[in-house]
A and B are shown apart, each in its own frame.
Chain A
Amino acid sequence: MSHDSHHHDDHEHEHAFFPDEQLPEGSVVDGASLSRDVDEAFDFVVVGSGAAGAVAAHTLARAGFAVAVVEEGPWVRTREFGEKVSEAFTRMYRDAGTQVIEGHAYVPLIQGRCVGGSTVMNSAIAHRTPEDVLAEWDERFGLGSHISARVLEPHFDALERELNAHAVDDAVLGENNRLFLDEAKHEGLPAGKMRRYERNCRGSGRCVTGCPNAAKQGMNVSYVPWALALGARIYCSCRVDRVVVEGGRACGVLAKTTGEGAAKTVRLRARRGVLVAASTIQTPNVLRRSGLRARAIGEHFQCHPGFGLGGVFDKPVTMSFGATQGAESTHLRKTERIKLETIAMPPELAAVRIPGIGHDLMRRMGVFSNLAVWAVVVRAEAEGTVRQGWGARDKVRLDFTRRDVERTRKGTAILARMMFEAGAREVWPGIYGLPSILTRPDQVRLIEEAPADSRLFSMITTHLFGAARMGLDPATSAVGADFQSHEARGLWVVDSSVFPTNLGVNPQHSIMAMSRLAATRIAEAAGRTASAA
């Protein structure tokens, strides 16, 4: 069955069933309900079912290999997605949405922990890896002949076709995005609609709690089910303890079920190798637990901090309708390392940021319908570390540089000015030490004059990179340009932990393309073609 015919059927039947239903019998093993230990053998075992793991698994399955995917979280199906953020946090987010980067400031770090990983709750934004970033990877890490725009292009092409990447349709643009685009045009700031992976988006504005229509092409409704249709099997609610490395070669993984009751052991043997795609935070710790000792493991962690501000308008904005994120400007990415964008917030998350306490807060919650939220995302220079803390918990440390905060501040000031120009009656900067509410454009200078201290800005982080980076020198990298560990044959790392630097744009597209490139090369090295599109 081709993907195209599969998708066509979905539209024809208007979701008589979603892609995460009616899966091949025996293709899903739920660790939460396992009553016995498991010991199975496959050609390849893939750790993680997010953007990287799902694409790698699909690519290898399409090449005819027997593939197992191991996912720590549960498979929450489309029909189970609700509107409430607290329930989504508990079921699908790592640490129930409370994970933080520790450092000078505590910065929330958002990751999915479910089948599909963070693609279940992100906005499915498709950006190819910027060529200046690839040039930097070549210049600093010597990767040019291995990772380049030309090498990645067929993979981007295939992904865009298979996931139906396209600009947001006008019908579901929504007022939050339209306001941003209109104002950017008015000011002469180059901006545009985001390109997203979606089919028949209805503008439910519920990306962060899981798309209730399976319109967003998260891995949970695309590459994971497609891989299963090709014979792969997924073990969900199974946490990988370590990759088993014997005689310098990866030969399987050991996992434990995460359901209630006594944990069962899941041993998955890999005849050809193991691909680790557990994410920038979990991958380094899996590698460490597997006995790898490269100095680069857990180092050079990078991210994109984001900072949002609200504006109250006279007319309804109604963030509950429209693409959760649908408009952006990357005009300042190269020069200022910032990207400006929209983000519709559900009421619960907006309520956290609405100024005030008590009755003042109540008054402002009443104008939620007139609230627009725009954000600045920074390509931060800061590098941090990923370690395993007490109780095998992931521990992430990073201190943003002064310039990172200055850039955050600059982007915030630009957005605040845009909001006033667009007609905002109030702008809520959310910077400690400033008035909670700005009512005049001249007050934007207060933002520009705010101290460049990360503790004053309520930042949040979703885009994660590094911590097992790629390079030619084993002394300074964890994997080679072929994605394979310098220390263990048959052990490839295919997620964004191998990215030598951050990108300055949303990373899902780059993660998937890099993973697809890696899996294609692995298949070809094993004498098979992954029939690239």
Chain B
Amino acid sequence: MRLTGIENRWAEAAMGAIFPGSREEGLTDIRAMDVSGFLGRVVASVPSKVALGLRLAVWIVALAPLFVLGRLATITSLAQADRERVVATLVMSRNYALRSLVMILKTMGALLYAGDDGVRARMMVPTKPKSLVTLRVKGATAVA
């Protein structure tokens, strides 16, 4: 029940929208990591129901540009800013099932991303939070 090639590309795009990396913060892009290999291991180790949920989440994000942006496109064909907008909209959805499913992608992505040695090392470095900015997403009301 492994994800197919195109599902892996969609998943990678979705996770890239969530964890795009930041030169300023010294954080790498999740797409530089082995996203498909990681998801393959996840799918092999979780119950089939959870694997199905992950796959469903991938499809939802993949096709969401049509409903969120009104564009006949998949997540992979969008620019980074639009990908982020699509995923942010989904995790803020008023529909509990929908936002919970998409949060699976953030959860899985977090396990991979923050499990990376370089990212962990960067996260452990003390910083000055004065540089924090307000979330840019309009009407940000989600847990996200």
B85-111 contacts to A (CB < 8 Å):
87-88, 91, 96, 99-100, 103, 106-107, 110-111
Contact bitstring A342-372, B, C-beta under 8 A = 1, else 0: 0000111111110111111111111111100
- Look across to chain A and name the residue whose beta carbon is closest to the beta carbon of B109: A351
* Interface range for B: 35 or more
Indicate if A28 sits at the interface (CB-CB under 8 A).
no
- Contact status of A366 and B114, CB under 8 A, knowing A95-B50, A361-B18: no
- Contact status of A357 and B17, CB under 8 A, knowing A365-B27, A426-B132: yes
- Look across to chain A and name the residue whose beta carbon is closest to the beta carbon of B23: A362
Q: For A86, give its contact among B22, B25, B112 (CB under 8 Å).
A: B112
CB distance from A420 to the nearest CB of B (A): 14
Stretch at the interface among B5-13, B66-74, B133-141: B133-141
Complex contacts, B100 vs chain A, CB 8 Å: 106
- Look across to chain A and name the residue whose beta carbon is closest to the beta carbon of B87: A357
Complex contacts, A355 vs chain B, CB 8 Å: 135, 140, 143-144
CB distance from B88 to the nearest CB of A (A): 4
- Look across to chain A and name the residue whose beta carbon is closest to the beta carbon of B25: A366
The number of chain A residues with a CB under 8 A from chain B is 56
The answer on a CB contact under 8 Å between B143 and A313 is no
- Look across to chain A and name the residue whose beta carbon is closest to the beta carbon of B92: A432
Indicate if B42 sits at the interface (CB-CB under 8 A).
yes
Indicate if A289 sits at the interface (CB-CB under 8 A).
no
A430-488 contacts to B (CB < 8 Å):
430-437, 455, 458
The answer on a CB contact under 8 Å between B27 and A362 is yes
The answer on a CB contact under 8 Å between B126 and A316 is yes
The answer on a CB contact under 8 Å between B137 and A367 is no
The answer on a CB contact under 8 Å between B110 and A351 is yes
Indicate if A21 sits at the interface (CB-CB under 8 A).
no
- Contact status of A436 and B142, CB under 8 A, knowing A347-B123, A362-B27, A369-B127: yes
Complex contacts, B137 vs chain A, CB 8 Å: 356-357, 360
Q: For A358, give its contact among B88, B96, B113 (CB under 8 Å).
A: B88
- Contact status of A357 and B127, CB under 8 A, knowing A351-B113, A363-B25: no
- Look across to chain B and name the residue whose beta carbon is closest to the beta carbon of A95: B47
Contacts A/B (CB < 8 Å), 7 sampled = A320-B124, A348-B113, A355-B140, A357-B17, A363-B25, A363-B132, A425-B132
